[in-house]
Amino acid sequence: MFWQPLFWGLLIPCLIVLGILYGTTRKVYKLFYVLSLFVYVISVAYIIDVFDLGRNWILGLLVFSAVLMILIAAWLSRKGKERPKRKAASSTKRHLWILLVLLAVMLILIVVSSLDVGVTREVSVVSSLQRSSLIVPLSNGEPYQLSPVPVANYSYANSFFLPVVAQDQYFLACWYDTKTQTASTEQLQTLVNGQYNEYRVANEPLAEVPPGAFLKLAVTVTGTSYAQPKGTVPASAYDRYDAIVLASLRDRSYVDCSNLPAMKDDTSKVSSYAIIPLK
């Protein structure tokens, strides 16, 4: 993901250029031209990066950008020389119309892609888990190795004409005490389709379902182990937990396990919440 460092790396010089340009010329329009160029560079970087384009596409995009910039420069210099003053008013009106159309298209795109139309989501969570599969006592010197345990499947079918981002982006599993209805501060390791949750989330793109496609997110968790007799974590530390809580969150914001029960009803953040008893 190089577009984010590039964005922040170019933003500071861009702000400096904007400040100098406005300080020396006092013309607002020049600032918008610079902003337009900045957004173009970021757009090209974003497209190359997140769509993981091949070398032919990258080369094509770079050549296209070069030709586009040269043509616009030539057009602007010709317009600057030819433009009669009396036509300025109608030209301004035309630019305002183009602006309105562009803003309307942006708004329509945002609204249409935010509608959860044509998407079927199914969530299946296991009814219970074996305690011994998650909390394993090890004898001294035994290698630390626990197997991931399947806990849930999230499936999406998209019949919409646009790609859809899955609601469930980040999975969090915590030890849970049903009597006090509190969760541990410690988090169980979560894997999504065999990848570390943190790894998957840190690397965009977010889970997307292409038009007409089906996506399945299989979630597994890995518990903990304690060494005997000189364990650093005593076995009794887990005695009070009689369940695990599994939540899927809509975005990548970090949520502490102990805060999870309090925010379970906040559907803007938590898209599913399940308590799985340990037997």
Partner 1 sequence: MAFRLEQILYTLGGLFAAAAIIYFAWEYLVLLPRIIKAALLVLLMGVFFFLGRHFQERDV
Residues making contact with partner 1 (CB under 8 A): 27-33, 35-36, 39-40, 42-43, 46-47, 50-51, 88, 91-92, 95-96, 98-99, 102-103, 105-106, 109-110, 113-114, 162-165, 204-206, 208, 250-251
Residue 93, phi then psi, degrees to nearest 5: -60, -40
Q: How far is the CB of 215 from partner 1 (least distance, A)?
A: 12
By beta-carbon proximity to partner 1, the closer residue of 58 and 235 is: 58
By beta-carbon proximity to partner 1, the closer residue of 63 and 100 is: 100
Q: How far is the CB of 125 from partner 1 (least distance, A)?
A: 23
By beta-carbon proximity to partner 1, the closer residue of 16 and 235 is: 16
Q: Where are the alpha helices (DSSP H) in 83-189?
A: 88-114, 131-134
CB 209 within 8 Å of CB 232:
no
Residues paired with 125 in a beta bridge: 152
Q: How far is the CB of 184 from partner 1 (least distance, A)?
A: 29
Any idea what the Cα angle at residue 163 is, between residues 65 and 252, rounded to 5°?
90
Q: How far is the CB of 152 from partner 1 (least distance, A)?
A: 21
By beta-carbon proximity to partner 1, the closer residue of 206 and 237 is: 206
- Tally the residues of the chain: 279
Which residue has tokens 């010709």?
78
Q: How far is the CB of 257 from partner 1 (least distance, A)?
A: 23
Residue 187, phi then psi, degrees to nearest 5: -110, 140
By beta-carbon proximity to partner 1, the closer residue of 95 and 279 is: 95
